[in-house]
Amino acid sequence: METNVIEVRPNGATAIWSAIDGGLLRRVRKSSIVFGLVLAFPLATSFGWGAPAAWLAGIAWSLANLAATASLVRKVLTLEPRDKPSIVKSLLIKFPVLYAIGFALLVSGLPAQWTLAGFAWPLLVAVLKAAGRSYLRLDDTPRGNFRVLS
């Protein structure tokens, strides 16, 4: 079996998608849920049940928004022909539906500061995960930007 190595030219789609790859989003989702649940218990003992309910609702809304945004980016920044009806469907779900849910969360009577803190939590987790990967140089290739074909 012969192995060929070709140099990969970076383009806009691969550069953006490599920054928000599916593995990073999966790790952000998992860490946000686990540590968000862990932090909900001290919030409940300190502030009552309204704060952790708002915290968890904010996290859930943020993760749904992040998934919708990633799906939209994946559909728009592709090298294959774009599926325009699918893009329109994603836009119709993301903007009116998710933002209506976000507005409903803010006016629901839950503490708004904890809802917004929960919304910001996955974004903080994503920044810390990306910074950690960058600091540890986990995404660097030792000899440049090459793809092995077999």
Q: Is residue 8 part of a domain?
A: no
- Residue 68 belongs to what domain range? 22-140
Q: Is residue 76 part of a domain?
A: yes
Q: Which two tokens stand for residue 30?
A: 């998992």
Q: Is residue 147 part of a domain?
A: no
Q: Is residue 15 part of a domain?
A: no
Q: Is residue 13 part of a domain?
A: no
Question: Model-level pTM?
Answer: 0.76
What are 128-135's contacts with CB under 8 Å, separation 24+? 129/24, 129/27, 129/28, 129/31, 130/19, 130/24, 133/24
C-beta of residue 33 within 8 angstroms of C-beta of residue 63: yes
- In this structure, the chain runs to a length of 150
Q: Is residue 64 part of a domain?
A: yes
Per the structure, the count of domains in the chain is: 1
Write out the DSSP string of 19-52.
HT-HHHHHHHHHHHHHHHHHHHHHHHHHH-SHHH
Please give the chain's pLDDT, 150 residues, in tens: 666 655 544 545 555 555 556 788 899 999 999 999 999 999 999 999 999 999 999 999 999 999 888 888 888 887 888 888 988 988 888 889 999 999 999 999 999 999 999 999 999 999 998 888 888 877 665 555 555 555
Q: Is residue 73 part of a domain?
A: yes
pLDDT the model gives residue 139 = 67
Taken in order 110, 112, 114, 118, the sign of the CA dihedral is positive
